Every structure is written in structure tokens, then in C-alpha cells.
Amino acid sequence: MLKILNVVGARPNFMKVAPIYKVMKRQKENFLPLIVHTGQHYDFSMSDSFFEDLEIPQPDFYLNVGSASHAVQTAKIMIEFEPVLMEQRPDWVVVVGDVNSTIACALVCAKLGVKVAHVEAGLRSRDRTMPEEINRILTDAISDVLFTTCQEANENLISEGISEDKIEFVGNVMIDSLFGNLERARQRRVTERLGVRKNEYAVLTLHRPSNVDNEDTFKNLMLTLIEISRRITIVFPVHPRTKVNISKFGLESVIEESNVRLIEPLGYLDFIALVADSKFVLTDSGGLQEETTALNIPCLTLRENTERAVTIEMGTNQLVGLNSQLIKQRAFEILDGRFNKTGRILPLWDGHAAERICEALVRRSQ
């Protein structure tokens, strides 16, 4: 039996770990799965509610690191994770995505000789000003097995000199969670509770420091989105960091007078139901680019680059950057029925990626 420590830290991690944990629990003869929550996200709506929505138990270990600068947070996670690792001596540690918890726990494992599996490996934005890009590159360099979501990720890893025998193309566990929970999510009737109708609203998410921490950038973005909201309601679940800056930059009154509706962050089930019934999505998130592609929902990504290029090549996603004219042009194309991108199910985005990951861990442990 393999003892596995599954690491979660920030909101995007939960949807990736949940299907893996559930498969491991079903295969009792093969796995003893444990969950380590670093506490990188500590607000209930940003963290704990996801355990409930995804039907996974409370973590076996909670490190309680909280918010801090990248360096301080990464260091805190390493310090708190090391004694857990030394006490538990797992066969594998599974890290997911590209947050500080990912690289911090992988580094501790590398120093102590514990095998690391990186889920969602090989994604590259080619923008090293993004902290996540540094986390991805370093985690991939020190992991023992790299589970990828698309063939492009395999090619990225090989081009960086990583041995092909470390790479396993398994598909996308985010889509496992999406397909596995969508029907249950729709039963919650979130649109009725919010007073919006299917296909008559857009969804907005904004949280990246490059978009919300600079006053001029954030103001220009919000004024552009307010202009779009004259034609369609924009539902905006506000990230805590973004909420602070809305107040700091004096944007509250102009937003209140618009058709941009600020709401509190949603749990996973409510959020995917909201996205699934929307006309389109505007986001600077990574995972939403994938989920909208799987749902065939148009997505406008408010970034200059993306590590999920496959969603542009094969899906519904378009990069619009921070260009006000381009953002409005693409949004109005959607509203006028002239948006010509359609999504499709990508190879191995079939809801069974977690099963392939677990099979590979067993095989690689023999």
C-alpha cells in the first residue's frame, strides 16, 4: 500500500486534488491517501467551502501559513511541511498546479529524497515575471514524475531537457472535477438566487497583481468592463485582494452605478454552475480558460499571455490582454453572435485523468 501526501494550498488546487483523492480512497488495496492543507488560502469562501463542495474530508494536516510575500510564504510552507514529511515518510507526495505551496513542498521533498509527482506539469506562459511561471519551471525540474494535460506540455518539458520517461500524458483533472460535479452544481439554482437568467449575463474574475494592484491598470480595466455592462449584466465574484483595491482606488461608486454586480466569492459548485449558464466569461484566471473550453463557453482572457495555449488553439479562449478596444470588440462580437470560436473536448479531457494518475503511481512504485 502506498502512503500518499496530497498537497493543497490555494483555491485552484482543490479541484485538482479532489478527483485524485477519491480514486485513491476507492483503491484501498493500493493507497493510503492523506491531505496536507498549507493554509495559503485561509478565508472560508476561498478554501474550506471547497472541501464541502468537492466532498473531500477536512485535511489530515493543516499548516496554517496564511498570507505573506512570496518569499516569506514559501519559506513558511517549507518550515511547516518538513516535520510532517519526516514524521509520515510517504511513498509519494503529489503537488498540483503552480502556486507557492507547489514549489515549497516539492523542494522539501527533493532535499529529503521523497518522490514527488507534479500534476499539471509542463505548462508555460514564457513570462518569467509571473511568479507562477517560476513555480512551474522549478517544480518540474525536481519532480520524479510529471503528469501533463496536453501534448504541448510534453513538448515543453522535453525541450527543457527533461527525460521522456518521467513524463505521463494523463489529461486534465480539473475537467474530472467539472464533469463529475456539474449536474449537482446546477441543482443549486445559483442563477435564480442571484436574479439572473441563463445566457443573459457574463462572469468576471480578476485577481492577478498585474491587473488589480496598479491603480491605472485596474481603473482602465474596470471602466472598459463597465462600458460592456451597458449591454449585458456582468456578475463579478470579488477576490479578497481585488475587493481591497476597489476601495483603495475609489472605484466603489462608479461600479455601484453600473451593471457590474459585485458578489462575494462563490464556492466551487455555485461558481461552475454560474459559468456554465453564462453568455461568456472575462478572466485572468488559468483554470477558467480550461473549464470554459470544456463547456463551450466563450472566454476572453485579460492577460498578455497564457500557459494554457491549447485553449486558444483548440478551445473557446481568446487572449485580449489589457487592450480596451480589443476587449470591447471581442465582447460585442459575442453579444452580436459573431464570435466564431467553438470548444471541443481535448484529448484525454474525458473525466478519467485521476484514474490514469493513480495507475501510473502504482506502476512506478513496483
* Active site positions, annotated: 207
The whole-angstrom separation of Cα 77 and Cα 198 is 42
The whole-angstrom separation of Cα 134 and Cα 99 is 10
Phi, psi dihedrals of residue 207, rounded to the nearest 5°: -150, -15
The whole-angstrom separation of Cα 178 and Cα 351 is 8
The whole-angstrom separation of Cα 96 and Cα 139 is 10
3 state DSSP class of 105: helix
**Do residues 35 and 61 lie in contact, with contact meaning Cβ atoms separated by under 8 Å?**
yes
The whole-angstrom separation of Cα 164 and Cα 160 is 11
Phi, psi dihedrals of residue 348, rounded to the nearest 5°: 65, 10
Task: Give the H/E segment covering residue 324.
Answer: helix 324-335
DSSP codes joined into one string, 178-246? HHHHHHHHHTT-HHHHHT--TTSEEEEE---HHHHTSHHHHHHHHHHHHHHTTTSEEEEEPPHHHHHHH
The residues facing 32 across adjacent strands are 3
